[in-house]
A and B are shown apart, each in its own frame.
Chain A
Amino acid sequence: MARVKLSEYKAKQLLLGSEYRGVQLRSGEKMEIPKGKWVAKVDQGVKKRMKQGLVAVNKPRTELQAKIREWEKKGFSQFVLEPYLAHEPSEEQYFSLERVREGIRMLHAREGGIDIEAHPEAVQTYIVHSLTDAAKIAQRSGLPEAFLRAMLEAFERNFFAFLEINPLVIRGSEAHLLDAAVLVDSAGEFFVGTSDRPGWTERDVVKTKMSHRAEEAVASLASTTPASLKLTVLNQNGSLFLLLSGGGGSIVIADEAKLLGAGAELGNYGEYSGGPSREETYLYAKEVIKLMLDAKPGSAQGGSASGRRALVIAGGIANFTDVRSTFLGIIDALAGVAATMRMHGVKVFVRRGGPNEREGLALMRDFLEKEGLFGTVHGSDSEITSAMREAVTFVRV
């Protein structure tokens, strides 16, 4: 459902096949650096690696070992080694492919390198409608046809969404991919790879950021249900924690926090939608509630000055997600920690609409009042942003 980054190692394997001489190194696995001089790079989808010192060019084994240890200390865990290619900056070209509505959009510039963004006028645009266009485009762009064809075929076969090679060095009919970045369409995983030509899997997708334990828990829960469950931890010591529902509605509600100047106080972002069951909603809600209880708002790392925290259970008016059963799941999750929440003075602010709205809201209201957690409970007759507004007011007092 989304475009995700592939490791450079896997991307080049898919693009070049057995010609690729790169070596992948992962922390925690056996790391063997072969003899000779190599280019070593952090391979976790980081942008502007050169400027950040995350590339070591043409260095022998001992130096690379030290370099990798240094990178590991910064929290990186995946690296790639490649043979060094001596070349002139003037040889560097820019090449990218992106899936667009009409087919594949190809961008090419004879002058490339790190400064490509400064020379937009050098970039030529082509639209590839089918693989049969390759010969014509190769001729017009001056790229070797075999190279272009191989890139397009790998792009299609592996459900790529975006491919960028920068710099690209062309010598005669030979192409050298110095740096490559690939975004794949995560929905394509099922279709890629055959028994004799493996594609990519979830394991080849790089994580640009360290995942929080709660994020991992939600991701693994999400992989077992057709419903949509998402969680991103924003500020572990935030004061506003969100149980949002609906892809679009959740952004509107988070926007409201930003518009009220409380964007930095959001502890998390995420949403449940697509009709999760009571049990799935329970497991999801438990993770968010735990995040909230672990937070230390008012600490040095930010959050509200009052030290108060609020749980915002909000969403738009669902088309088919059942308010009653999802709310029962949330109540199940709240019930176990109601006393702790009371101790921390947490209040709960609710706005939701949809199927079985009346019953769902009544259950939630009764529960929150009984447990002394009641902030507000709104239905579809009030504005989608109402609960968030009231929660922001509450934590600010």
Chain B
Amino acid sequence: MTGKRAPSVVGVITAARKAQKFFFGPREVLIPCYKDFAHVPSLQGRRVRWLLNAQSGRRTLESTSAFFKAFPRALGAHLFAENVPEKHATELIKRFGGKYLIAGPSGVGVLVAGSLKLGAIGGTDAAQIDAGRLATRGSVAVISTSGGMTNELIRAVVRAGKRVSFSLSIGGDRFPVTSLTEVLRLAEADQETKAIAYFGELGGVDEYEIVEMLRSKKLSKPIVCYIAGVIDEAFDEHMQFGHAKALVARQDESARAKRQALGDAGASVPETFDEFIRALELLPLAAVHDIVTDVTTYMERRPSILTTRKVVDLDSVPRFVKNKKLVKQSDNAFPAATLRALLGKEVDPVTAACAGNIFELLIDHGGHVSGAVNTMITARAGKDMVSSLAAGLLTVGPRFGGAVNDAALAWHEGVREGSRAADFVEARTKKGALLAGIGHRKYRIGIPDPRVEALAEFTTLLKKHPHYDFARQVESVTTGKNGNLILNIDGTIAAILLDIFAEKEKMSAEELGELLDAEFFNALFIIPRSVGFIAHFLEQKKNDEGLFRLPDDLLFERDNDENK
């Protein structure tokens, strides 16, 4: 609505998820979420100027301090919470007062028309933002102790034919971090601000700051004030109104006394709210050039419920034959295309070659393995291809095929934490956990797995290979106990892929962690093995031996009471 081309929100601090979807104009954008300020990448962090703190009153002091520690070059914040203890508010003043512009505690934030809207100030839907003409920089500064009245005043300014230059909701708390005097100084210094509209309430003595500034001529721009709370005169005892500060403790805190003092100092102080609105009409008029927005398109926006990316470019059709000739493809074209689809980016030739090698190695490992057996049994029960394939794939798990990702998790953790292999093995065995990626039934020390040897050649193409090295160190510990506990094919695939991704694809430990969370590394098994399962299915259909039944002598049937 202001003509900005990209969202200025850098991120959301929340433990709940990785990104949140918001509208930016008519389209949706994903804003990244971070666990805490320390997790904001420095490239993004450099753009951080403002904090919108929506935490509870109990946590406001702590989180605001953490923000300014992480982003000392920021400009300010809005602290939304009510119920920030007075003691915490004065502590915030001590730490940050005068250095940053901080709206709150409480209130609805700060607005610079056309540039900045920090908080709910001025409304939260497009119709409200349009009605308040918040995209147009105007000439009247709106300053209010009350959040709701901030918006009321903004609208009143618009109704009076003017526009808002900036607006700040001081908040109804007793100790706003940025004081009224500081905000008035900003209004006085701001060249675009020609006049000030102020809303205050009974309670507190802040309005005497205005009186003082008017008297000492530090405030020369016209100011129209409405001080609410004459109703208090109708009660026997002073009443606590909605805002913390809104209780008259001394005579000079009453609405009437403050009105009198402001009027004496030269402010315009209408008696009723209707007169206040008329007084706004009398303020100097500045030229108004609104940015016209069609609000209906904003009001008709509907958030999507599913988000994904373009996995392949549907517009670019691969061509393998041209001019009656085969087109020469680049090496490992299919593995490269597969990784491009999975990772969303072009991969290095070494990465593609490694995937190609893995794919070819893992297509099948004989008809004896459980996934293949399940596929064949299902096929012989007369089921279709997808059912038979699914039966095989559903076997993939911690004991069959699913060890690649588990092994990758182990190597990743070991390298990230700089563990010694011996301690690492000790810690795992103590917990009674199996070591994924270690151990083989057939191969052992002296009878090496030829597939492992083949893949290990990739390390010669890398400058360094910490995950592979770590896996080998673990192996040297475990084989000291049992010669079968060698680095197996799952563990090798995991280690080498981690090293290649880190060096050739320049992935950070965090990016690798995200792939691990999503079980990415199991894909390197599932993709080629699906081919193997389909081959076993086709073979069963060809042979058509009828329903499979386990021969009686191959099944051990235990009596029900045997273990009594």
Query: Taking beta carbons and an 8 Å cutoff, which residues of A are in contact with B?
Result: 1-3, 99-103, 156, 159, 161, 185-188, 190-191, 208-209, 226, 228, 230, 232, 234, 245-252, 254-259, 263-264, 266, 269, 271, 273-274, 315-321, 353-357, 380-381, 383-385
Q: How far is the CA of A269 from the CA of B242 in the complex (A)?
A: 10
Q: 6 tightest A-B contacts by CB?
A: A248-B146, A247-B242, A246-B148, A263-B234, A248-B149, A319-B120
Q: Is the CB of B83 within 8 A of A249?
A: no
Q: Tell whether A232 pairs with B152 under 8 Å between CB atoms, given A3-B247, A185-B85, A248-B145.
A: no
> Is B296 close to A, CB under 8 A?
no
> Is B125 close to A, CB under 8 A?
yes
Q: How far is the CA of A255 from the CA of B119 in the complex (A)?
A: 28
Q: Is the CB of A258 within 8 A of B152?
A: no
> What residues of chain A lie closer than 8 Å to B277, measured between beta carbons?
383
Q: How far is the CA of A209 from the CA of B235 in the complex (A)?
A: 13
Q: Is the CB of B87 within 8 A of A248?
A: no
Q: Is the CB of A252 within 8 A of B155?
A: no
Residue in B closest to A320 when the chains form the complex, CB atoms: B120
> What residues of chain A lie closer than 8 Å to B273, measured between beta carbons?
252, 255-256, 383-385
> Is B228 close to A, CB under 8 A?
yes
Q: How far is the CA of A383 from the CA of B128 in the complex (A)?
A: 16
> What residues of chain A lie closer than 8 Å to B271, measured between beta carbons?
259
| Pairs A–B under 8 Å by Cβ, sample size 27 | A1-B173, A101-B93, A102-B90, A159-B87, A161-B86, A226-B56, A246-B147, A247-B148, A248-B145, A250-B241, A250-B242, A254-B231, A255-B228, A255-B231, A255-B273, A259-B272, A263-B231, A317-B128, A317-B155, A318-B123, A319-B122, A319-B128, A319-B147, A355-B123, A380-B131, A381-B159, A384-B152
> What residues of chain B lie closer than 8 Å to A234, measured between beta carbons?
234-235
Q: Tell whether A316 pairs with B149 under 8 Å between CB atoms, given A251-B228, A384-B273.
A: yes
Residue in A closest to B150 when the chains form the complex, CB atoms: A319
> What residues of chain A lie closer than 8 Å to B241, measured between beta carbons?
247, 250-251, 269
Task: Tell me the minimal C-beta distance from A129 to chain B in angstroms.
Answer: 9
> How many chain-B residues does the 8 Å CB contact rule pick out?
63
> What residues of chain A lie closer than 8 Å to B175, measured between beta carbons?
101
Q: How far is the CA of A134 from the CA of B66 in the complex (A)?
A: 30
Residue in A closest to B245 when the chains form the complex, CB atoms: A2
With A1-B244, A246-B149, A316-B151 already in contact, 7 other A-B pairs whose C-beta atoms are closer than 8 Å: A99-B86, A101-B179, A251-B202, A258-B230, A319-B121, A353-B151, A385-B274
Task: Tell me the minimal C-beta distance from A152 to chain B in angstroms.
Answer: 13
Task: Tell me the minimal C-beta distance from B280 to chain A in angstroms.
Answer: 12
> What residues of chain A lie closer than 8 Å to B118, measured between beta carbons?
none
Q: How far is the CA of A1 from the CA of B277 in the complex (A)?
A: 31
Q: Is the CB of A274 within 8 A of B152?
A: no
Q: How far is the CA of A329 from the CA of B453 in the complex (A)?
A: 71
Q: Which of A159, A255, A319 contacts B230 (CB 8 A)?
A: A255
> Is B115 close to A, CB under 8 A?
no
Q: How far is the CA of A357 from the CA of B123 in the complex (A)?
A: 11
The residues in B between 500 and 514 inclusive whose CB is less than 8 angstroms from any CB of A are none
> What residues of chain B lie closer than 8 Å to A273, measured between beta carbons?
147-148, 242
Q: Tell whether A248 pairs with B85 under 8 Å between CB atoms, given A263-B233, A319-B147.
A: no
Q: Tell whether A354 pairs with B146 under 8 Å between CB atoms, given A1-B83, A252-B273.
A: no
Task: Tell me the minimal C-beta distance from A314 to chain B in angstroms.
Answer: 11
> What residues of chain A lie closer than 8 Å to B56, measured between beta carbons?
226
> What residues of chain B lie closer than 8 Å to A269, measured between beta carbons?
231, 239, 241
> What residues of chain A lie closer than 8 Å to B274, measured between beta carbons?
383, 385
Q: Tell whether A355 pairs with B199 under 8 Å between CB atoms, given A271-B242, A273-B148, A316-B148.
A: no
> What residues of chain B lie closer than 8 Å to A384, measured between beta carbons?
152, 273
Task: Tell me the minimal C-beta distance from B56 to chain A in angstroms.
Answer: 8
> What residues of chain B lie closer than 8 Å to A185, measured between beta carbons?
85-87
Q: At the interface, is chain B mostly helix, strand, loop or mixed?
A: loop
Q: How far is the CA of A316 from the CA of B144 in the complex (A)?
A: 13
Contact with A along B101-142 (1 / 0, CB 8 A): 000000010000000000111111101100100000000000
Q: Which of A209, A259, A319 contacts B148 (CB 8 A)?
A: A319
Q: Is the CB of B148 within 8 A of A258?
A: no
Q: How far is the CA of A3 from the CA of B248 in the complex (A)?
A: 11
> Is B439 close to A, CB under 8 A?
no
> Is B221 close to A, CB under 8 A?
no
Q: How far is the CA of A208 from the CA of B240 in the complex (A)?
A: 12
> Is B229 close to A, CB under 8 A?
yes
Q: Is the CB of A248 within 8 A of B272?
A: no
The residues in B between 149 and 166 inclusive whose CB is less than 8 angstroms from any CB of A are 149-152, 155, 159
> Is B246 close to A, CB under 8 A?
yes
Q: Tell whether A247 pairs with B83 under 8 Å between CB atoms, given A257-B231, A259-B230, A264-B234.
A: no
Q: Is the CB of B247 within 8 A of A316?
A: no
Task: Tell me the minimal C-beta distance from A262 to chain B in angstroms.
Answer: 9
Task: Tell me the minimal C-beta distance from A248 to chain B in angstroms.
Answer: 2
Residue in B closest to A157 when the chains form the complex, CB atoms: B87
Residue in A closest to B202 when the chains form the complex, CB atoms: A251
Residue in A closest to B242 when the chains form the complex, CB atoms: A247
Q: How far is the CA of A256 from the CA of B122 in the complex (A)?
A: 24
Q: Is the CB of A2 within 8 A of B247?
A: yes
Q: Which of B124, B229, B244, B246 contacts A355 (CB 8 A)?
A: B124
> What residues of chain A lie closer than 8 Å to B247, measured between beta carbons?
2-3
> What residues of chain B lie closer than 8 Å to A245, measured between beta carbons?
148
Contact with A along B54-71 (1 / 0, CB 8 A): 001110000000000000
> What residues of chain B lie closer than 8 Å to A319, measured between beta carbons?
108, 119-124, 128, 147-148, 150-151
> Is B237 close to A, CB under 8 A?
yes
Q: How far is the CA of A383 from the CA of B122 in the complex (A)?
A: 17
Q: Is the CB of A188 within 8 A of B228?
A: no
Task: Tell me the minimal C-beta distance from A298 to chain B in angstroms.
Answer: 19
Q: How far is the CA of A315 from the CA of B147 in the complex (A)?
A: 12
Q: How far is the CA of A121 from the CA of B291 in the complex (A)?
A: 60
Q: Is the CB of B86 within 8 A of A248?
A: no
Q: Is the CB of B239 within 8 A of A251?
A: no
> Is B188 close to A, CB under 8 A?
no
Q: How far is the CA of A186 from the CA of B150 in the complex (A)?
A: 26
> Is B226 close to A, CB under 8 A?
yes
Q: Which of B90, B146, B155 contacts A247 (CB 8 A)?
A: B146
> What residues of chain B lie closer than 8 Å to A271, measured between beta carbons?
242
Q: Is the CB of B123 within 8 A of A209?
A: no
> Is B84 close to A, CB under 8 A?
yes
Q: Is the CB of A249 within 8 A of B148?
A: yes
Task: Tell me the minimal C-beta distance from A280 to chain B in angstroms.
Answer: 16
Q: Is the CB of A248 within 8 A of B201?
A: yes
